[in-house]
Chains A and B, each alone.
Chain A
Amino acid sequence: MSYTGWIIITGILVGVTCGINGSLLVLRKTAMLADAISHTVLLGIVGAFFITQTLHGIPMLIGAAVVGLLTAYLVETLNQKGVQKDASIGVIFTSLFALAVVLLSFIGSQVHLDTEHALMGEIAFVPWNRFILHGIDLGPKAVWMLSAVLLISLTVIILFYKQIKISTFDHHYAILIGIPVGFIHYLLMTLVSLSTVASFNSVGAILVVAMLIVPGATAYLLSDRFINVILLSGLIGGLSAILGYWSAVQLNVSIAGAMATTTGLFFMLAFLFHREGLVIKYFRHRLRSQ
């Protein structure tokens, strides 16, 4: 497959994986916790590097999962100790992220892992980093990692579909009928961490937030049905990745930045033109008053 082809496939995988997992967060009203986790995952990646001295996929995934869960746990703990929810999110993510960036500036030039990379990712380099098994070239590593995470996410969502759905829409009812809501919560936070770390090389730790939250928010504006929101969010994520890549090449700008901007455009269109959107409301109002 061609160089551009691999980049587009990587982008679509990022968009779909983040879109699907992100939509659950938007529906569960925990978007900012996802924002926090996608920042702190950087600490997991840096930590994995310090321990293994390499940038291999598996230690990075484990490090990310651990730090992601730690973030969710610390936020919850502070909140129980009487700190406002959003302030506890703010304290935890800024301190862990700051620690990661400072550690990163000490590694700096040794490997291809620096602050700029952590911020924006470098999807243009993804096709060069191949997965070679027994001398056979199996394509870019990032594609394998993203496919694996997408597969894990889909499996988890299908297996626990009913539990996730009920605990999302009616927390108390879910507890009442014996759904382990805490387990479901941390399970989804793990999926967020995995999606973030798999997307890290392509779009960086900060812009992945756009891929997580914005397609989900857009889909939620367009539909009320649980399954539709999930599927639509994946679709919007994938489309944003393709259009973002295309416009980034045209303008010669950051690919990840352009993808984030494209999700924003989709959101704006949905916000203005969906059934209850501002523009539609305005015209309906005018029609009625005539």
Chain B
Amino acid sequence: MSDYFSIFLSSANFRWVITGSLLLGFACGLIGTFVLLKKQSLISDAMAHAALPGVGIGFLFFNEKNLPVLLLGATLTSLLGTYLIQVIIKHSKLDTDAAIGVIISVFFGVGIVLLTFIQQHATGNHAGLKEFIFGQAASLVNRDVQLITVSAIVLVLITMVCFKEFKIAIFDPHFAKGLGIPVSLLNGVLMLLIVGIVVIGIQMVGVVLIAALLITPPLSARYWTDELPIMAGLSGVLGALSGAIGTWFSATIPNLPTGPMIVLVISAIFLISLLFGSKHGIVMKVVQTS
């Protein structure tokens, strides 16, 4: 057993996977901060679920598991799902919750239909498509991890460059407009960033649970600080930690899906922050009032 571990840990592929999960987690936590501030937590969940049919369509188009094509398909259906939520809210009496619920469940259903269709009918090698549901870091080859790593870095850089503008546009859109900041363009950029991080993350974390990596780290960070830049940075670090630890567990224990393991780690971090957070933690409040 220990031999197995040491061989595994020293392999270059494993180091790549851990690096990828670190960066992916960091990017999720960072971008998730703005998702939380814009109150779009559940919309990000819909974006993730809506990516599944795109993976199936991407496969059917070329009949092979070409990751960039699959991710392009995922991006398109994810954007379509997000757009349809807005359409439903705008043109009917349904509330946001119902609109999100309809899109999440129907897109996911269509995704499952496509995946089972591919399983029954497609001739190309379709092994591993199911991993997009719960994620499986062990199924990643070097090229996939490099794609994830590079994309995560790009997304982080874009977020950092637009950080100040995002902040003003979210907290005071009128003031931002007065300053000549293009608020609707920034909203569009933010949406693309969310879809981008969701799509590159689904192979590792899976469509079902990747939203947790956007929602939970900033929520945890909130218990330690009131400063937005610190909160965003801390959120990124917590995301990175849970990404790496979860992937480590999942890769060393057979049959353990990666996504749920990562989410368990970040949930534990949330619980600790909720209780012991230095700024708003429950214990801290009790100590202060007594």
Contact = CB atoms under 8 A, between A and B. Distances in A.
A binds B: yes
A31 B98 contact: yes
Contacts of A29: 95, 97-98
Contacts of B211: 90, 94
Given A253-B113, A260-B105, A95 B94 contact: no
Interface string B90-118: 01111101111110111011111101110
16 contacts: A26-B94, A29-B95, A34-B101, A81-B274, A83-B219, A87-B36, A94-B216, A98-B212, A99-B260, A119-B112, A210-B108, A213-B98, A220-B98, A253-B113, A267-B106, A271-B92
B39 A84 contact: yes
A97 B264 CA distance: 9
A217 interface: yes
Given A87-B41, A251-B117, A261-B110, A102 B260 contact: yes
Contact of B112 (A120, A216, A252): A120
Contact of A91 (B134, B212, B260): B212
B208 A260 contact: no
A259 B110 CA distance: 9
4 A-B pairs with the lowest CB-CB distances in the bound complex, closest first: A260-B109, A264-B106, A257-B112, A95-B267
A31 B100 CA distance: 9
A95 B264 contact: yes
Contacts of B260: 97-99, 101-102, 105
Contacts of B257: 101-102, 105, 115
A97 B263 CA distance: 9
Contacts of B102: 213-214, 217, 264, 267
Contacts of B110: 257, 260-261, 264
Describe B's contact surface by its main secondary structure.
helix
B112 A97 contact: no
Q: Which of B101, B111, B121 has the most CB of A within 10 A?
A: B101
A24 interface: no
Nearest to A22: B101
Interface of B: 36, 39-42, 45, 88, 91-95, 97-102, 104-106, 108-113, 115-117, 120-121, 130, 133-134, 208-209, 211-212, 215-216, 219, 255-257, 259-261, 263-264, 267, 270, 274, 280, 282
A108 interface: yes
Contacts of B42: 32, 86, 89-90
Contacts of A260: 105-106, 108-110, 112
A278 interface: yes
A91 B45 contact: no
A31 B113 contact: no
Contacts of A221: 92-94
Interface in A30-60: 30-35
B106 A214 contact: yes
A206 interface: yes
B106 A217 contact: no
B267 A98 contact: yes
Nearest to B210: A94
A91 B267 contact: yes
B110 to A, nearest CB: 5
Interface of A: 26, 29-35, 81-84, 86-87, 89-91, 94-95, 97-99, 101-102, 105, 108, 115-116, 119-120, 206-207, 209-210, 212-214, 216-217, 220-221, 248, 251-254, 256-261, 263-264, 267, 271, 276, 278, 281
Nearest to B39: A84
A268 B284 CA distance: 50
A84 B36 contact: yes
Q: Which of A29, A86, A276 has the most chain B CB atoms inside 10 A of its CB?
A: A86
Contact of A207 (B91, B109, B264): B109
B56 to A, nearest CB: 11
Nearest to B95: A29
A258 B113 contact: yes
A119 B133 contact: yes
Contact of B219 (A87, A209, A271): A87
A209 B105 contact: yes
Task: Please indicate which of the listed interface residues B88, B91, B105, B116 has the most CB atoms of chain A within 10 Å of its own CB.
Answer: B105
Contacts of A212: 101, 105
Nearest to B208: A206
Nearest to B285: A81
Contacts of A90: 41-42, 45, 211-212, 215-216
A105 B280 CA distance: 35
Given A220-B93, A221-B93, A26 B263 contact: no
B91 A102 contact: no
